[in-house]
A and B are shown apart, each in its own frame.
Chain A
């Protein structure tokens, strides 16, 4: 079955880079996503990567995909207090058509 694993917590100093990691089990995953959830809010799509790509960069965000190891990472450069949230990794196997499978989320804690 499908499974997505993430570390529960990550603590970084303001201004440093944050790297949030995710592993997944389904080798037929076609798209992988990063969502952000702030307290009391819904999930906001940050970025996604297609499975035939290795890297995708969008401003402060860099996504790296190692398909061989089924490992996905999200790097946030110059982490700010506003980046404090829960970050969910998610995958889909049919282009997202049938919904996504989410990890449990990584709490990003920013130290001043």
Chain B
């Protein structure tokens, strides 16, 4: 399968713990995005990378959130000191920069439940 893959698919944690999600984009895609989706809502933009550079961060991304894409390939999203309000589906997407209409290709998401 050459699509976007995310790991883990589900994570249950206790409030105050740290969690990390990983995303492997489509190999030739140089842009990588993180979105958050809560029940009954559409995906909300968190941040995106062009290669290894993080170009934009949403106001939704508090100081407890950090994302990296160290070699311009896979990316990690870490949430420190999790809160119940962090419970959501975290979606990763990738796209080609050049010659595209900005189509995003999404992974199946990592569902976080904070108890």
Contact = CB atoms under 8 A, between A and B. Distances in A.
Q: How many of chain B's residues touch chain A, expressed as a range?
A: 20 to 34
Interface stretch (A10-18, A38-46, A58-66): A38-46
A92 interface: yes
B43 A102 contact: yes
Interface stretch (B13-21, B65-73, B74-82, B99-107): B99-107
B104 A41 contact: no
Interface string A69-112: 00000000000000000001010100111111111110000000
Contacts of A33: 103
Interface residues of A, number: 26
A102 B93 CA distance: 14
A104 B103 CA distance: 19
B109 A42 contact: yes
Interface of A: 4, 31, 33, 35, 40-45, 48, 50, 88, 90, 92, 95-105
